[in-house]
Structure 1
Amino acid sequence: MTDPVYTARRAARSLFVTVRGLRYHLLAWGDASRVTPERPPLLLMHGWMDVAASFQFMVDALATDRYVIAADWRGFGLSDNGGSDSYWFADYLGDLDALLDHPELGLAGQPVDLLGHSMGGNVVMLYAGIRPERIRRLVNLEGFGMPATVPEQAPRRYRQWLDELREPAQLRPYDSLAEVAQRLRKTNPLLAEDKAAWLAPHWSRQGRDGRWQILADPAHKRVNPLLYRVDEVLACWKQIAAPLLWVEGDRTDAEKWWGHRYPRSEFEARLATVARVERHLLSPAGHMLHHDQPEALAQRLETFLA
């Protein structure tokens, strides 16, 4: 007997566009002709080691049939990786800017509502301060930023990056979609079995050897040689003009990522630099809160975006 598979309530259209020389993959829900200044397009940007389809459960739970687009970042999902051996926030910002100007997506010439999760949340926060005129409403789902660095860390970081470049980066293959779904649920025990079964073929694809490969460039596993400069980040955050909705899960434990290098008090001080912030805590939910509480999250979104 096979495990139950989630049934999507809103069908997504798969689109491919050229962005800065790369073939970018996007999913679109709803009708672009119904866009108004009061209900602009909603653009969704996923986190690290994730894909655009990850937002399906949240989109299904939205009460209004608004025009929504989700993109696979470069090197994730079905988007090209461009042969990169490393990835930088600057490239993500450049890709996002190009997407908003792309004539085929109907986003140009108007402010949009912009949402990012985790790594995507970090990128959209930067972008909203760099191009504040492009964003009407901003949503950050657990894009905490990263620990502060000091210049003295640079030699060791560059040396680590150079050492990692000597060996091919690899991701573990899986023997079946069931194993992929099991991997998703191991990472997030709150993920329901039917949702894991639905995500598995969107999060991976079968190779010629019959095994399933995660749809992510293994180069994402390499350390970033560029230090995270908090003063530069906050200079951008201070320029955010749009209202910000910050949402997190009650079971998220950031210490498992950074230990004591980035205490909660430091994050609170950073978030305080943003002028207008509305905050919500979802329960029970972990880092993948759009999987754990899609209905509650969609309800918060509807109220905020209205």
Structure 2
Amino acid sequence: MNTTAPYRPQREAQVLQRPVRGHWQYALRCWGDPSTATPERPLLLLGHGFMDVGASFQFLVDALQAQGDGERPIVAPDWRGFGLTQGPACDHYLFADYLGDLDALVDALSPDLPIDLLGHSMGGNIVMSYAGARPTRIRRLINLEGFGLPEAKPEAAPTHLAKWLDDLKAPKALKPYASAEAVAQRLQHTNPRLPDDRAQWLATQWASPADDGQWHLQADAAHRRISAMPYRLDEVLAAWRRISAPTLWVEGDETPFEQWWGARYPRADFDARLAQVPQLERRTLTGAGHMLHHDQPEALARLLREFL
């Protein structure tokens, strides 16, 4: 048994519920009051990645505070179908709905001021598309390894739709775990860089105990279904080219991009996509993989403070 004490947050968050688009109660992890935002220090909104939760940013928020940026209001929502956000039963999720939810949140939390917007992985893809659709609502934009997906070929659309229809008929489930420690071990299996104390704390945010005595991930199993909508690269890049905010791209030097995608999505193709963002700054964190806000939160915080 691991006897390491769980990580202790330094800047405590308050979790609030806010109605979004009439059907969802979004859970917002708030560090500070969004109403205290100013043009010089606007709200910083953090969008988590796939199969993650807003609490994932706690280490980064603590690092920002330790470096003297503890007064900034920060909000990290749990996207629909993740964490503590509640809504109607779904058998699949659409990418565009995350943009609709984000737009509603930005209007509610910062109706008069542009915000600083950060997204990790899936969240990085969300914020890039949103910043292209609503360029005047974003002051600074940060993408943490939101690489996008391989381009979908139009001729493959019928086959893709048939696969999605078949997938709708297949039951989906997420593996339960015997204990919070087992969840922590699962997190460290995925990311061996994650220290014991952070893994122990994250496990209690990423999963929760149920009546069956097992720990269950705070995510809807329907996320395991493929998307009905193919990844249309031309449309994505059209949005990226409309981004008017200065944009910071950050990646880890140990992220296995080629291992993930192989020939389906060469790294050179991604670099060509990113080059189309108008005001782009690129940085790489040493000793970090895909979960760079877990691996190197202090170094990431320094980059963000310089950029913001």
Residue from 47, 50, 55 that aligns with 1:48: 50
**Residues 14-60 of structure 1, C-alpha deviations (whole Å, 9 max, x = no match):** 10000012010010002445421011000000000000000000000
Give me the whole-angstrom Cα distance separating, in 2, the residues matched to 1:158 and 1:18: 32
Q: Deviations over 1:112-149 (max 9, x none)?
A: 00000000000000000100000000000000111011
1:64 aligns with 2:64: no
Change in Cα spacing, 1:160 to 1:33, as seen in structure 2 (3 Å) is: closer
- What residue in structure 2 maps to residue 3 of structure 1? 4
Q: Is the 8 A contact 1:27 1:53 kept in 2?
A: yes
User: What TM-score do the two structures reach when normalised by structure 1?
Assistant: 0.96
What are the within-5 Å matches in structure 2 for residues 127-276 of structure 1? 127-276=130-279
Q: Which amino acid aligns with 2:51?
A: M
How far did residue 80 of structure 1 move?
A: 1.8
Cα displacement (A) at 1:225: 2.0
Structure 1 position 167, deviation (Å): 2.2
Amino acid at match of 2:269: E
Q: After superposition, give the CA deviation of every residue in 1:96-126 in whole Å (9 maximum; x if it has no partner).
A: 0000112xx3x11110000000000000000
Match for residue 94 of structure 1 among 84, 90, 100: 100
* Structure 1 CA distance for aligned equivalents of residues 204 and 12 of structure 2: 16
Q: Over residues 264-294 of structure 1, what are the superposed CA-to-partner deviations in whole Å (9 max), with x where a residue is unaligned?
A: 1111111111111111100100000000000
Residue 239 of structure 2 aligns with an amino acid whose one-letter code is C
SS in 1 for 2:264: coil
- Within 1, Cα distance between the matches of 2:18 and 2:277? 33
Cα distance between partner residues in 1 of 2:121 and 2:50: 7
CA distance in 2, matches of 1:119, 1:40: 23
SS of the aligned residue for 1:260 comes to: helix
Aligned to 1:17: 18
Q: Is the 8 A contact 2:121 2:144 kept in 1?
A: yes
CA, structure 1 residues 136+147, in 2 after alignment: closer, same or farther (shift >3 Å)? same
Contact 1:81 1:217 in 2 (8 A): no
- Displacement of 1:214 in angstroms is 0.4
TM-score (norm 2): 0.96
2:96 and 2:35 map into 1 onto residues whose CA distance is: 32
Deviates more, 1:24-33 or 1:11-20: 24-33
| Aligned partners of 2:11 and 2:31 also within 8 Å | yes
- Following TM superposition, by how much is the alpha carbon of 1:82 offset from its aligned partner in structure 2, in angstroms? 2.4
- Superposition RMSD in Å: 1.1
Where does the alignment leave 5 or more consecutive residues of structure 2 unmatched?
none
Counterpart of 2:76 in structure 1: which amino acid? A
Which deviates more from structure 2 when the two are superposed, residues 280-289 or residues 81-90? 81-90
Q: Distance in 1 between matches of 2:36 and 2:175?
A: 43
CA deviations on 1:167-217 (whole Å, 9 max, x unpaired) are 221000000000000000000000001000000010001111010000110
**Cα deviations across residues 141-168 of structure 1 (Å, max 9, x unaligned)?**
0001110111111122112111121122
How many aligned residue pairs are there? 302
1:81 deviation in Å?
4.3
Q: Which residue of 2 aligns with 1:283?
A: 286
Report percent identity of matched pairs.
59
Show structure 1 runs of 5+ residues with no match: none
